Amino acid sequence: MRVHMLGICGTFMGGLALLARALGHAVSGADANVYPPMSEQLAAAGIALTDGYAEPLPVPTPDVVVVGNALTRGVPVVEQLLESTVPFTSGPAWLAEHVLRGRHVLAVSGTHGKTTTASMLAFVLDRAGLEPGFLIGGVPHDFGVSARLGGDRRGPFVVEADEYDSAFFDKRSKFVHYHPRTLVINGIEFDHADIFDDVSQIRRQFHHLVRTLPATARIVVPAADPEVDATLALGCWSALERLDGPTSRFRLDDVAADGGSFCVVADGERHAVSWGLIGHHNVRNALATVVAAEHVGVDPAAACRALASFGGVRRRLEVRARTAGITVYDDFAHHPTAIRETLGGLRARVGAARILAVLDPASNTMRRGVHRATLGPALDAADRAWVHRPPSLGFDPEEIARTSAVPVAFEADIDRLVAAVVEAARPGDHVLVMSNGGFGGFHHRLARALEARSGTG
């Protein structure tokens, strides 16, 4: 089958392209926004890309076109597709039909922690010898790719289950297509303001997901999350596993201040974990992983042993450079809660060392200013902060400075922003760069500039 993918460099679509290629299909694609790590994965797989959407569909004509949710009416290739007789579908629908059918699907959902938790879960299942398939919205260091079919086409499959819509012609959340038997809901907050008006609309989509689960499924949720509780109050027909509450089967103990070690208590038995990740949010992700893995037969003790060697995920507090005593991190922060927890974990790890935070408000929700009242306080664990001010920013970022306890500066030009951070940085500092986009190659430019200043470049 010839499969052509529009929006192929998105984290979901890029992984889907790898799965289609592994199934033996001829895969091509087009995208207007290409940057690592997905562009590198596709190039390594030999998948041909068209830059932009002005070019017509490829020849020979594809058997099916898979349309990413970034595509809209009015895009030239979309209009050509609709005029043609070529079959088209959404990415989640194609995944469900060609990959997930007949498998035990473990879906990881929620506003935060999906990529890291799904990566942990795939790693734990792999260490247990289950050879899972997976599709993750990032690249786990332990696998080097964001997607694979797995050793057994009928075996378990871990999928990052996003609440974003499926395509311009299918406004259901992606995860409604997946029909999991194990579902993790890490928590629910308002996000994706470009498609949801309020959190009640997000709850409704999660309710639709819960309605697709059989009675024998397991739903893994925090012990106390008001939005998750409100969602489940709409109806729940599956076994529910609440985490880390007073009566929970699974809870946490002895959590280090920086999250670098902790203990999982499973049915009264204690399992210590010391690992390379930091932050209490990642400890909670680990607990959800242990419980989800148990549902497919992995003993909690074995899961905890595996977590001790988990290597993390690219763009999740990933060290991108160390030069002249300055450490530069890359983090995929896209929401005030994620910013606050990542900074808090880094502060607990580095103690009194200075943290310089650089925020690129790249997500649709942040650019619209939906979270402007909480962005300032989210930066409080840093010592100084800079915020990129792109032309598309839909609010006055000075509101961030007025509500933050630390000095916050703004800059529209990336080169000038790099120069400002280089001028402020000194040996011993930790520079945390937060963006869910390419950010104009900021990390590379900053590392080069720091090297040049120190004479090591």
Q: What confidence score (pLDDT) does residue 184 get?
A: 98
Summarised one tens digit per residue, pLDDT across range 218-236 is 999 999 899 999 999 999 9
User: Are 264 and 248 a contacting pair, CB within 8 Å?
Assistant: no
Q: Beta partners for 330? A: 318, 433
- pLDDT at 36 (0 to 100): 67
Question: How many angstroms separate the Cα of 102 from the Cα of each of 124, 246, 259, 316?
Answer: 21, 37, 37, 32
- Pairing assessment for the beta strands 430-434 and 326-331 based on DSSP bridges: parallel
Rg, the chain, Cα only: 22
pLDDT of residue 396: 76
Specify the pLDDT at position 457.
Answer: 52
Residues in the chain, pLDDT under 70: 34-37, 193, 363-366, 368-370, 456-457
pLDDT for the residue numbered 435: 85
| Strand 218-222 relative to strand 182-185, pairing | parallel
Q: Does domain 318-454 have CATH number 2.60.40.10?
A: no
Query: Got the DSSP string for 374-385?
Result: HHHHHTTTSSEE
Q: Of 105, 137, 146, 125, which Cα lies nearest the Cα of 21?
A: 146
Q: Does domain 2-91 have CATH number 3.40.50.720?
A: yes
CATH superfamily of 102-307: Mur-like, catalytic domain (3.40.1190.10)
Q: Which helix (H) or strand (E) holds 269?
A: strand 269-274
Domain definitions of the chain by residue range = 2-91, 102-307, 318-454
> Could you give the residue ranges of the DSSP H alpha helices within 154-267?
199-211, 226-232
Half-sphere exposure of 389 (CA within 13 A, CB side): 17
Question: What does pTM read for this prediction?
Answer: 0.86
d(CA 41, CA 220): 31
CA distance 389 to 411: 5
Write down the pLDDT at residue 108.
Answer: 98
CA distances from 237 to 1, 135, 144, 159, 219 (A): 38, 26, 37, 21, 10
What is the spatial distance between Cα 139 and Cα 142, in angstroms, rounded to a whole number?
9
Contact 169, 95 (CB under 8 A): no
Q: What is the pLDDT of residue 37?
A: 66
Residue with tokens 């009264």: 268
Please give the pLDDT value at position 231: 95
CA distance 386 to 361: 11
Contact between 313 and 140 under an 8 Å Cβ cutoff? The reply is yes
Residue closest to 357 by CA, chosen among 312, 400, 307: 400
Residue 307 vs residues 138, 248, 295: alpha-carbon distances, Å:
18, 21, 17
Rounded to an integer, what distance in angstroms lies between the CA atom of residue 419 and that of residue 414?
Answer: 9
Please tell me the predicted confidence (pLDDT) of residue 370. Answer: 66
Backbone conformation region of residue 244, classed left if phi is above 0, alpha if psi is from -120 to 50, else beta:
left
Quick one: angle between helices 300-307 and 114-127, nearest 10? 110
Closest CA to 289 of 278, 279, 298: 298
